[in-house]
Structure 1
Amino acid sequence: MSTLLQVDAIECRYDQLVITRDISFSLNQGDICCLLGPSGCGKTTLLRTIAGFDPVYSGSISLNGSIISSPDTLIEPEERRIGMVFQDYALFPHLTIRENIAFGLRKLSKQEKGERVTEMLDLVNMRDLIDRYPHELSGGQQQRVALARALAPRPQMILLDEPFSNLDSELRKHLGLEVRRILKSQNISGVLVTHDQTEAFAMADYVGVLNQGRMQQWDTPYNLYHEPANQFVANFVGQGYLIPGQLQDHNKVSTEVGIIEGNRAYPWADGTDVDVLLRPDDIIENPSGSITAIVDQYTFAGSATHYRLRLPSGLIVESMFNSHAEYDIGDPVRIEVKADHLILFNNNVKDNPVSV
């Protein structure tokens, strides 16, 4: 599989304000990646830099082996063969759907334009709406048209800047999977910007987690969830929370909720104070469990209920119970830990290793 996009140690600035520092990652042809992080972390700036709207201060960006951005090079956006789908769709209100999609196809003949427009509308299942105007469409339909317009010139890559943020949650989920299907069917690479980890995990082959302008981890969704590189990633991805413990025998830790043993070994001495990463699915209800917690808060979510539980020490942990298990605030519940992984962070070590 060939590398399509290569980002090497780029730094982006607005005047003298540093927005991103030392960002590096690569994307293969046909893969979809997501830039994930909180507001203000530099996601959109990085996307705009890849598109060619903003320059780089240092480092370089290459597409198919050719540099398209560096301190000395800036290939214009229209020459990069990169499509862009904006958060607000950016459709021309005075043009029909047909005319919006054909807008960037000036070099094609009239017949070729018509064929390409029809092909794109078939791809997004909207041929019946070809002569409508944007204001006559729903938000989801407008987003499909925006995608079709971006795909029409046959770009090498598509950039999507929080494209589903204006849609309701169910439509976001459906449209996200649909966009992934369309890009995969065309073997077109995509770079998605979002702050929604569910969206990122559903759409992307690789996810880059950013914070304060730096790449915290670039990895598969599975590895981000199970092997976070640091505490920021652990907390940001997958509803993680940390409880204190003491390391024993390099691969197990003593905590308030019992001994947790996993398949990772750590280099620190026995008795080292550590923080243990747990997820809601690591703590389960068990009437015979040795730990009694008090329900502090709960949220019913259909097939499961998300509980916040207060341990005897006052520490709060979280768990997902089957929705048939009903507890009210203040009720006692017996629990146990069922974690086959062991993710530890030593607060005395900078840039904690995940494992050795």
Structure 2
Amino acid sequence: MNWLFGRPHKLAQSSLAGAPRARAGATFAARLTFDAVEKRYDERVAVRGFSLDVAPGEIVCLLGPSGCGKTTLLRLAAGIERPTGGRILVNEREVAGPQRFVQPEDRGVGLMFQDFALFPHLTIVDNVAFGLKALTREGARREALLMLSRVGLERYADAYPHILSGGQQQRVALARAIVPRPAVMLMDEPFSGLDVQLRDAMQEETLALLRETRATTMIVTHHPEEAMRLGDRIVVMRAGALVQSGRAEELYRQPASLFVARLFSEINEIEVTVANGHIATPIGRLAAPGIADGAAATLCIRERGVGLLSAGGNGSADVPGIRGRVRSAKFLGDAVRYEVVAEGFDAPLNVRTVAGEALGEGREVRLAIDSAEALIFPSNGDKSP
């Protein structure tokens, strides 16, 4: 469902008749700070030692598998849940901590969940106006109509939610969450119920609206591509804890762990042993800093980081690269995923290339692998995604 917290700010009146989409009014963005926050449910720890500072107007995506504590963190920020330990601050003002707890409606925070939860017995405009309790009925309707105009649905103002498509319902839910002008906007997987094409369009629409309102925003997702598209910064969570945070390119190119690498890339994982600070591989001798001699390590090669060239029917030596043979090829629309038996590797490598004329099963190929793109992590036997 959608929870609307915070006190609305008046907007300038304007006529909607025949007008283009209105722009959403800006809010006063707030700094959101988590200071060693913990949340326990009996013996289960949902959030552990979580610290993060979200700058005013910043859009942060919380990324991680189901059950890692992302939604719990949003509920703590909104005031639906009380933290077991640590503090939460909005603009340096403590809203949750050992000695203080500010009620949700006094935090200036909006929370939007994935199922939209529009009230079926209320018209679209009344759904949007639902959180504007501080205004008169006429004032609330005027503000709701302005926001509906912004999301392109003013013509449905007096209709009921059941006539709307999934994407239209998502727009109404977003309008209802934004119209009180919350200083902090919290969104829990808002696009998960939409099909792929509609999801892309709604992500762009939502991002534009958030930029206009300049609300500080946290968006929960378990889709890395969605996080990279929407977030100024991405925060990766696992088992209730913060694993790594940074810009999308940083997390992709310098993942802090094998877990993060798996989130952002399809990778081949090759188990190796460290000797004299290095590992010996078919693509050369690579440094393995921070891993003890004799310890097991995991060499990661991105599927999209392998170049594939046909070597002709006889595997001609004048084509550079590691010799290999195509074991299978799968057409995936804009890409082809190959399974290639490669010289020096105990197991076949998976390779993704831009779609073109597919190399058939049994074709002799050469693989070009840039050692600078290889990632090396300590092995811990963890095969979970």
State TM-score, norm by structure 2.
0.81
Q: From the superposition, tell whether residues 292 and 159 of structure 1 become closer, same or farther in structure 2 (CA, over 3 Å).
A: same
Kindly indicate whether structure 1 or structure 2 has the higher relative contact order, using CA contacts under 8 Å at least 6 residues apart.
Answer: 2
User: Retained in 2: the 8 A contact 1:244–1:255?
Assistant: no
1:195-231 CA-partner distances (Å, limit 9, x unpaired): 1111111111111111112211111111111111111
- Which of the pair has more CA radius of gyration? 2
Which secondary structure does the structure 2 equivalent of 1:229 belong to? coil
User: Which residue in the other structure is 2:367 paired with?
Assistant: 335
User: Which residue in the other structure is 1:309 paired with?
Assistant: 340
User: Which residue in the other structure is 2:6 paired with?
Assistant: none
Which secondary structure does the structure 1 equivalent of 2:89 belong to? strand
User: Which residue in the other structure is 1:259 paired with?
Assistant: 284
Which secondary structure does the structure 2 equivalent of 1:94 belong to? coil
Are 1:99 and 2:99 counterparts?
Answer: no
Aligned 1:101-140 pairs, distance under 5 A: 101-140=128-167
Match of 1:344, as an amino acid? I
User: Retained in 1: the 8 A contact 2:37–2:48?
Assistant: yes
User: Which residue in the other structure is 2:303 paired with?
Assistant: 280
Aligned 1:151-162 pairs, distance under 5 A: 151-162=178-189
Which secondary structure does the structure 2 equivalent of 1:73 belong to? coil
User: Which residue in the other structure is 2:77 paired with?
Assistant: 50
User: Which residue in the other structure is 2:104 paired with?
Assistant: 77
Shift of 1:80: 1.2
Q: Distance in 2 between matches of 1:69 and 1:308?
A: 52
Decide which moves more: 278-287 or 52-61.
Answer: 278-287
Match of 2:355, as an amino acid? S
Q: From the superposition, tell whether residues 174 and 317 of structure 1 become closer, same or farther in structure 2 (CA, over 3 Å).
A: farther
Shift of 1:107: 1.0
Q: Distance in 1 between matches of 2:191 and 2:97?
A: 31
Match of 2:67, as an amino acid? G
RMSD: 2.6
Q: Distance in 1 between matches of 2:279 and 2:307?
A: 18
User: Which residue in the other structure is 1:353 paired with?
Assistant: none
User: Retained in 2: the 8 A contact 1:296–1:310?
Assistant: yes
Q: From the superposition, tell whether residues 309 and 51 of structure 1 become closer, same or farther in structure 2 (CA, over 3 Å).
A: farther
1:303-331 CA-partner distances (Å, limit 9, x unpaired): 32122334344424332213113034454
Q: Distance in 2 between matches of 1:33 and 1:126?
A: 27
User: Which residue in the other structure is 2:115 paired with?
Assistant: 88
Aligned 1:175-254 pairs, distance under 5 A: 175-244=202-271, 254=280
User: Retained in 2: the 8 A contact 1:9–1:58?
Assistant: yes
Q: From the superposition, tell whether residues 142 and 317 of structure 1 become closer, same or farther in structure 2 (CA, over 3 Å).
A: same
Which residue of 136, 143, 148 corresponds with 2:170? Answer: 143
Which residue of 151, 154, 163 corresponds with 2:190? Answer: 163
Shift of 1:269: 7.9
User: Which residue in the other structure is 1:323 paired with?
Assistant: 355
Match of 1:306, as an amino acid? R
Which residue of 37, 47, 62 corresponds with 2:64? Answer: 37
Decide which moves more: 10-19 or 146-155.
Answer: 10-19
Match of 2:298, as an amino acid? D
Q: Distance in 1 between matches of 2:329 and 2:235?
A: 31
Match of 1:88, as an amino acid? D
State TM-score, norm by structure 1.
0.87
Q: Distance in 2 between matches of 1:260 and 1:30?
A: 45
Are 1:63 and 2:90 counterparts?
Answer: yes
Shift of 1:296: 4.5
Q: From the superposition, tell whether residues 332 and 40 of structure 1 become closer, same or farther in structure 2 (CA, over 3 Å).
A: farther
Which secondary structure does the structure 2 equivalent of 1:30 belong to? coil
Q: Distance in 2 between matches of 1:94 and 1:332?
A: 65
